[in-house]
Structure 1
Amino acid sequence: MEQQPIHVFAKWRVQDGKLDTVLALLNQAAIQSRQEEGNLFYRLHQSTTDANTIVLFEGYANEEALAAHRSSEHFQTVVVGQIVPLLAEREVTVTTELI
């Protein structure tokens, strides 16, 4: 069975007054994530109607690459340890492409 790419959509609602801090940390996380062997892309988006809403669109070669990303030092330290506490809401959806 051929492994297919995994895509992650993460929607974050940043706490009021914390956006600049989150964006600086997110830039750091993005640079490191893009260097991972199994990373296909790591794209960051900001809502045009609510600046505190950030959407991440990430691609990984397979489930193992996503697992490696989630267990990486920068993900655990920067995203889980520093960014997540500054979020009011966090929704993450892991997908595979249908068509």
Structure 2
Amino acid sequence: MSKYAINQKTIGEAVANGGVLVVAQWEAKDGQADRVADILDQFLPEAQRDPGSQLFLIGRNKENPAQFLFYELFRDEAALKAHAESDYFKTYIAGQALPLLAKRERAQYVLL
């Protein structure tokens, strides 16, 4: 899997203005983890270029490579909505990755 933390901003710059933080956990179905990783390799650069995305990180569990963890910080609710309605999200996530998952959990937070 390629680098998942590619970004031009520092963490401090990304969080300076607050925003909506989404933390998600995925678990791929048996035999699908590498395919999910390949899809995420294509998806991540698009997500990081999204103008409403302040920070977008994806990690893969070292002990269980079928598990993925997302930290996504968006400028505001409108930016989060635009992300979910984007062509790249519909193509890679809704169209390709979600059918390969056994589990998907998401929670939203506001930075303090």
Offset at 1:94?
Answer: 1.2
Give the whole-Å Cα distance in 1 for the aligned partners of 2:58 and 2:39.
12
SS at match of 2:96: helix
Q: Which residue of 2 aligns with 1:52?
A: 66
Count of aligned residue pairs for this structure pair: 96
Name stretches of at least 5 consecutive residues in structure 2 with no aligned partner.
1-16
Give the whole-Å Cα distance in 1 for the aligned partners of 2:89 and 2:42.
10
Give the whole-Å Cα distance in 1 for the aligned partners of 2:23 and 2:110.
11
Give the whole-Å Cα distance in 1 for the aligned partners of 2:87 and 2:95.
10
Give the whole-Å Cα distance in 1 for the aligned partners of 2:111 and 2:55.
15
Q: Give the TM-score of the pair, scaled to structure 1.
A: 0.91
- Which structure is higher in RCO with an 8 Å CA cutoff and minimum separation 6? 1
Instruction: Kindly report structure 1 stretches of 4+ aligned residues shifted beyond 4 Å.
Output: none
Q: CA RMSD in A?
A: 1.3
Residues 23-32 or 43-52, more deviating: 43-52
Q: Which residue of 1 aligns with 2:28?
A: 14
Name stretches of at least 5 consecutive residues in structure 1 with no aligned partner.
none
Q: Give the TM-score of the pair, scaled to structure 2.
A: 0.81
- Percent identity reads 29
